[in-house]
Structure 1
Amino acid sequence: MTTDGVRYARVGETSIAYRVLGEEGPYFLDITGPAPGLLWAEHPLTRRHWYQRISRFARPVVFDVQGSGRSDPLSSGIAASVEHQAEQAIAVLTSAGIEHAYLGGWDAGGAAAVTVAAQRPDLVAGLVLVNAYARTLVDDDYPWGVDRSTLDRYLHARRDRHGTGFLLDLLAPSVAHDPEVREFWVDYEQQISSPAQAMALSRIAETLDVRPLLPHVRAPTLVIQSADDAFFGPEHGRYLAAHIPGARLVEVPGRDHLLLWESGEAATAEIETFVTGVRPAARAERVLLAVLFVDLVGSTERAREFGDRRWRRVLDEFERVSSEEIARFRGRLVKNTGDGALATFGSASDAIDCAVAMRRVVREFGLETHSGIHVGDVERRGDDIGGTTVNIASRVMGAATGGEVLVTSTARDAAAGSGTRFVAAGEHALKGLPDPLQLHRVDHGHDPGIRDP
């Protein structure tokens, strides 16, 4: 995803900072309400969870609403308004020379997107409303709105607790205790604006009411709503979908109001389908893991020796102890392979200790294992895994003789400092790999029992 430099649109004497991202596809203007869009697009944590996904099929356009980020501040005593933010969105499209775009409206930004769609239908290819709402305050025919005293408490908290990260608990409870996300969020709150500007931005809620405009929206509309939204209830999204002609409602699972982490992939898949008309193929999640393959040695011969019934009991017992040992060393059993097992671990040392422990337990049955371990990116495909790392671990196991735990150099290096001792096992030409790999054997004296897992 490439990024154009910061440009400025003008609304009267006010400068609005914006950027155009991506290289191809239809334009997708993201209206993020009180949040500065440029910061979302530039920070790696939020960029990879939203804008990199959007840029697969569209060209995101982001801007900082007045009072936030790199745009001009709001004048003293002036609160943000839906109408003014809609003007800013139109100004950004005009400045960028964009004649037709999809509009994405988050939270209060949804009301600004609705306003643009109703007033300037010529600019709007389609409308995407994400956990948005037609009105903030409760009304006789809008009972799920918030009461005035609740809104006042929130507005004062936006000023008095600004920069503490308190909004994360409200907007994204699924990651509220994630240290990386919280560190980002505290910094993000501090970069939005000053406390006074943050309060002025949030005061958009006092007058936000686009209910009269909803029947006038003619653009195709997708409404995405968190099914158990903990900040604003799901009734808001359902109301929008019911009152915009032809709108389609999609409820995604989760409590987060901010759809980045909990259901971001599901939401962007729905947006991609809406924009392109084609549902994207499921994409495998890639994570860094230690992969362990373990197998019983000589299983064909032992099965013939034991007989079918006794061998079945042996395999059942092997599956039981495999599951127990993998869990004991904080791993995940991906699947049993008949006379073996495939598991993943968060660290190479846990994978090694598990393999050695399984070898010791299986020897009590009069049997022997051989194991292979590699560390690298793994593709998660539902409950299964795949990718080059998995293939290499399987080949490494195949190179191991009875009782051996073989690891790649990557796995050995990842276990540095764990106390595990290794013996060089030479280079091995493994099937399917262009070059030989240097393998290492876990020293037979290594005993994970001395380390409390």
Structure 2
Amino acid sequence: MAERMVPVGDATLCVDTLGNPGDPAILLIAGAASSMDFWEPEFCAALAEAGRFVIRYDHRDTGRSTSYPTGQPGYTGVELTTDALGVLDGLGVDRAHFVGVSGGGGISQETAVMHPDRVASITLIATSPALARPDGAAPLPPPAERIQALFGAEQPATDWTDRAAAIDRVVSDLATFGGSATLSPAEARVLVERSYDRTTDFAASQTNHWILDNGPASDKTMADIAAPTLVLHGTEDPMFPLPHGEALAREIPGARLVPVPGAGHEHPPRQAWPIVVPAIIAHTGGQ
């Protein structure tokens, strides 16, 4: 893939592309605290081989993008959202199909209502409604107990500067978030090692996204999303259980839900690619 550094606002983001720039563009948006490495090269290649121009990038504080002091992010959630458009601007791409996991799915929803001319479609993976829901909508189920414990105060601190300890912790966390079709421990370790070694400040990458000021709430609603929407949701997602995906499909006009058996709260694991890749290709067939 072709990696480059792209100025975006007051930051510089590391961006990777694969495929023909004349093909329909797919912008892959990783989840919080995740570098672009979580979009595996083979996954990107499968999309590019189907005639898509694939773009992935490191969020601020991840990978090779601009890093800020641990505990002092010099940006808000608003910048994380507008960075997606900055990446497209830096590549000269007017319009793209947004594919976002977890927090990346929130960015996709927000961009679809704020800048509909830039968004050809959205694919929402392992995420939840990010905008106001209909009046009277039923509450959505909370994270599983194992996820609540992971974020609890009793969780022991990790020395993120200790490569071995940091990698062990993230590999363990990935297993906690995963389902029965998740990455194997060996696959997860290779991925996390690559991410750790590419990241300027791993402590900042594992801290700053969780303490961001998200800025003012949007006045838009789920019903305001007009972009064609595909929802890919793991049947074993412990962070946002399947009813979150069902709510997305129900509350976004015309959205379609494709359950992903065995997948948890994660970037699409290899076992899910036979479902996920064809679904994305079919959904992004036009500009």
Give me the TM-score of the superposition, normalised by structure 2: 0.79
Is residue 266 of structure 2 the alignment partner of residue 266 of structure 1? no
Which of 6, 13, 18 matches 1:16?
A: 13
Is residue 234 of structure 2 the alignment partner of residue 235 of structure 1? no
Whether the aligned pair in 2 keeps the contact of 1:82 and 1:111 (CA below 8 Å) is no
- Note the 1:41-190 alignment, pairs <5 A: 46-48=40-42, 50-55=43-48, 56-78=50-72, 81-134=76-129, 141-146=138-143, 153-154=150-151, 160=158, 162-164=166-168, 165-174=171-180, 178=184, 180-188=186-194, 190=196
Q: 1:186 to 1:147 in 2, by over 3 A?
A: closer
Q: Structure 2 stretches of 5 or more lacking a match?
A: 131-136, 159-164
Q: Matched residue of 1:263: which SS?
A: helix
Q: CA deviation at 1:214?
A: 1.8
Q: CA deviation at 1:152?
A: 7.9
Whole-Å separation in 2 of the counterparts to 1:236 and 1:210: 20
Q: Matched residue of 2:86: which SS?
A: helix
Query: Where does residue 446 of structure 1 map in the other structure?
Result: none
- Note the 1:354-365 alignment, pairs <5 A: none
Deviations 1:69-101 (A, max 9, x none): 010113453457542211110110111110011
Query: Over the residues paired in the alignment, what is the CA RMSD in angstroms?
Result: 3.3
Deviations 1:144-170 (A, max 9, x none): 134999658427659627421212212
Q: Structure 1 stretches of 5 or more lacking a match?
A: 278-453
Whole-Å separation in 2 of the counterparts to 1:186 and 1:76: 19
- Note the 1:298-317 alignment, pairs <5 A: none
Whole-Å separation in 2 of the counterparts to 1:27 and 1:223: 19
Query: Where does residue 133 of structure 2 map in the other structure?
Result: none
Higher share in strand: 1
Which of 222, 225, 250 matches 1:217?
A: 225
Whole-Å separation in 1 of the counterparts to 2:138 and 2:225: 20
- Note the 1:267-306 alignment, pairs <5 A: 267-276=276-285
Whole-Å separation in 1 of the counterparts to 2:145 and 2:82: 27
Whole-Å separation in 1 of the counterparts to 2:218 and 2:96: 21
Whole-Å separation in 2 of the counterparts to 1:214 and 1:141: 14
Whole-Å separation in 2 of the counterparts to 1:19 and 1:117: 22
Whether the aligned pair in 2 keeps the contact of 1:217 and 1:245 (CA below 8 Å) is yes
Whether the aligned pair in 2 keeps the contact of 1:159 and 1:195 (CA below 8 Å) is no
Whole-Å separation in 2 of the counterparts to 1:69 and 1:263: 25
Whole-Å separation in 2 of the counterparts to 1:174 and 1:147: 15
Q: CA deviation at 1:266?
A: 0.5
Identity percentage over the alignment? 20
Whether the aligned pair in 1 keeps the contact of 2:147 and 2:239 (CA below 8 Å) is no
Q: Matched residue of 1:61: which SS?
A: strand
Higher relative contact order (CA 8 A, sep 6+): 2
Whether the aligned pair in 1 keeps the contact of 2:129 and 2:244 (CA below 8 Å) is yes
Residue 184 of structure 2 aligns with an amino acid whose one-letter code is: D
Residue 62 of structure 1 aligns with an amino acid whose one-letter code is: R
Q: 1:213 to 1:40 in 2, by over 3 A?
A: same
- Note the 1:339-378 alignment, pairs <5 A: none
Whether the aligned pair in 1 keeps the contact of 2:29 and 2:101 (CA below 8 Å) is yes
Larger radius of gyration: 1
Q: 1:5 to 1:153 in 2, by over 3 A?
A: closer
Whole-Å separation in 1 of the counterparts to 2:106 and 2:156: 20
Residues matched between the structures, number: 265
Whole-Å separation in 2 of the counterparts to 1:98 and 1:230: 35
Residue 274 of structure 2 aligns with an amino acid whose one-letter code is: E
Deviations 1:284-318 (A, max 9, x none): xxxxxxxxxxxxxxxxxxxxxxxxxxxxxxxxxxx
Residue 14 of structure 1 aligns with an amino acid whose one-letter code is: A
Whether the aligned pair in 1 keeps the contact of 2:101 and 2:126 (CA below 8 Å) is yes
Q: CA deviation at 1:131?
A: 1.2
Q: Matched residue of 2:7: which SS?
A: strand
Please say which of residues 221-230 and 79-88 is displaced more in the overlay.
79-88
